[in-house]
Structure 1
């Protein structure tokens, strides 16, 4: 019998894992507080500007353990460059509206450099800070500003290395969202083919483009997870889960390609404005059945249905579509190249589902 206290701890742990922002907030708060404390202990004039150290800590701790080192170096480089730009323009032009305009223009140009990556915006931030706030003691302020940022970033990196994030939940949520979008696309496509006949090209071209942002976000989430695993001491503990997630990402990535290919072929060759369509009323019902079976197979991942049965039904429906294409080809004498291409795509989709769900 489970102890009530252990159940409560298990519940809290589950909530903690499902909401990685909570751990990020806690780590950020600890890193910022430590950076502030260290800055106050530093000798003058550093201790007079302690608030820049937490800024560096937050920049570092909000990245993965691998990225935090790289991004901290990039951020520090961007901050130093911004300070140099501000001091150079201030010495040449003086403090004025013109100097602000020149500083921002030059900083924005430099911010686009690949050397700084996503940290390029700190060039502009640093330049404006140093130009506006460091007027009385420009050299002192510039050195203190850069030094406190470096100290804070070092603390943030250290905390990230001690407690590296493992963003399994965000990538799981991204995969769920991608699966739901793909299933919705397939079911709506089947419904339109069943009730309305040939497609309206403009609508489905737009739907193809709407799928791209979801696919991109999923790939970014999975990339972040893979990056975090490289230095995460907890990776072995979650080895089975990370392996399953990688296989699921591969499955859904293949499914996204399948849906895109099928929609592209149908919008090009099964359009309402074409005299001769790719499928016609004889093959369209079989394709509708195959698309719905494929959608059901995708929905059955992660225990949302009997996966083996769903994949088997998908194979059967694709086999039925294959037989129907052959029969229509024999009776009509038409080549049916597009219908054959759709069959090949769906067969490949079934093979990908089977491979992704087979035990290693």
Structure 2
């Protein structure tokens, strides 16, 4: 790699790995919180390590989440302290009091309002019960106060330098797009050259696509959450909107591919006397699947979004005889009902599954063209 290209490549890699910026924000927030913990007056300065702890809790992957989890952590801490103080007033320190505190605290940890920070209830209760003996009020004030200060610093660092993981979302959507194209091409190849499907193999392929779909949706949802209250999001609003459209379109296409494979695994298999397509219709549907894969392959630029043209435009181009992939897919799907009718007339079979496949393909094509 040339020295001239290195800064741009480093910038791209940095944005593809948001964990790096998260670690840097956490380190900065923890260092600032430690400094504050060291200069505050006693008794707070006796426990400076609790401030970085609060900063780490608050330095999460989105600004909205950092505010929410900071509030939950402080609430869990105070709840745990209350449990410990309540037990301490009626029992002297012992194995029984520890067991009682932990048991009650773990029950409280399940409170939905605390979310993932519920685990702090038991930790805080044990800290107050064991480490705060003799000066519980002072300890609770220092513990809660410093965690709150550290959390405020963490939220502040996130607000000044808010995360916005657009690049990882685009990469996840690109992987989904490529996986769908590969699935469509593989299915077309099978129909053209191998005939009926092998159920076990195609069920594995069908199941193998689901993690990619779920990852893409999770990444886009994460970006959407990161956009809340994020000033940087204003500069990337167009990209974020395009991502939402992409995940919707690719989600519909993924559901369509899943349904197509499911129908063919059920109705286009060697152990059936009457199959969904048969030798006459397999090439026609394989051609449509290849056209679908070509549309997906043509959308190589993730930033361009999915479907930059309307269906009407695609129809106009189809009429003009263009080789545009979107137009070719629209034209091929429009021809399928005629192919199914002709096959029905020649064979006398209903071909209901073939008709259902046409509907699924059209829905996928509409999603990609919208």
Match in the other structure for 2:166: 168
* Closer, same or farther: CA 303–160 of 1 in aligned 2, 3 Å: closer
- Say if 1:49 and 1:145, in contact at 8 Å, map to a contact too: yes
For residues 338-353 of structure 1, the aligned pairs below 5 Å read 338-353=353-368
The answer to whether residue 236 in structure 2 is matched with residue 221 in structure 1 is no
3-state SS, counterpart of residue 237 of structure 1:
helix
Residue of 256, 264, 273 corresponding to 2:262: 264
The answer to whether residue 341 in structure 2 is matched with residue 326 in structure 1 is yes
How far the C-alpha of 1:69 sits from its partner, in A, is 1.3
Match in the other structure for 1:254: 252
In 1, the alpha carbon distance for the partners of 2:127 and 2:269 equals 58
In 2, the alpha carbon distance for the partners of 1:204 and 1:277 equals 16
> What is the TM-score when the length of structure 1 is the normalising length?
0.85
- Say if 2:61 and 2:226, in contact at 8 Å, map to a contact too: no
* Closer, same or farther: CA 56–337 of 1 in aligned 2, 3 Å: same
In 2, the alpha carbon distance for the partners of 1:79 and 1:219 equals 33
In 2, the alpha carbon distance for the partners of 1:302 and 1:316 equals 22
* Closer, same or farther: CA 94–186 of 1 in aligned 2, 3 Å: farther
3-state SS, counterpart of residue 302 of structure 1:
coil
Match in the other structure for 2:209: 211
Q: Which runs of 5+ in 1 are unaligned?
A: 356-360
* Closer, same or farther: CA 119–207 of 1 in aligned 2, 3 Å: farther
In 1, the alpha carbon distance for the partners of 2:56 and 2:284 equals 56
How far the C-alpha of 1:59 sits from its partner, in A, is 1.3
Q: Which runs of 5+ in 2 are unaligned?
A: 308-322
In 1, the alpha carbon distance for the partners of 2:146 and 2:56 equals 12
* Closer, same or farther: CA 347–116 of 1 in aligned 2, 3 Å: same
* Closer, same or farther: CA 65–276 of 1 in aligned 2, 3 Å: same
- Say if 1:270 and 1:277, in contact at 8 Å, map to a contact too: yes
Match in the other structure for 2:278: 280
For residues 26-65 of structure 1, the aligned pairs below 5 Å read 26-65=24-63
3-state SS, counterpart of residue 333 of structure 2:
helix
Would you say how many aligned residue pairs link Structure 1 and Structure 2? Answer: 350
How far the C-alpha of 1:140 sits from its partner, in A, is 2.9
Match in the other structure for 1:358: none
3-state SS, counterpart of residue 43 of structure 1:
coil
Residue deviations 1:182-224 (CA, integer Å, cap 9, x gap): 2333233334434443334454445444433332322222122
* Closer, same or farther: CA 41–89 of 1 in aligned 2, 3 Å: same
Cα RMSD after superposing both structures: 2.8
In 2, the alpha carbon distance for the partners of 1:322 and 1:237 equals 46
For residues 299-338 of structure 1, the aligned pairs below 5 Å read 299-303=297-301, 309-338=324-353
How far the C-alpha of 1:339 sits from its partner, in A, is 0.6
The answer to whether residue 183 in structure 2 is matched with residue 185 in structure 1 is yes
- Say if 2:276 and 2:353, in contact at 8 Å, map to a contact too: yes
In 2, the alpha carbon distance for the partners of 1:130 and 1:211 equals 49
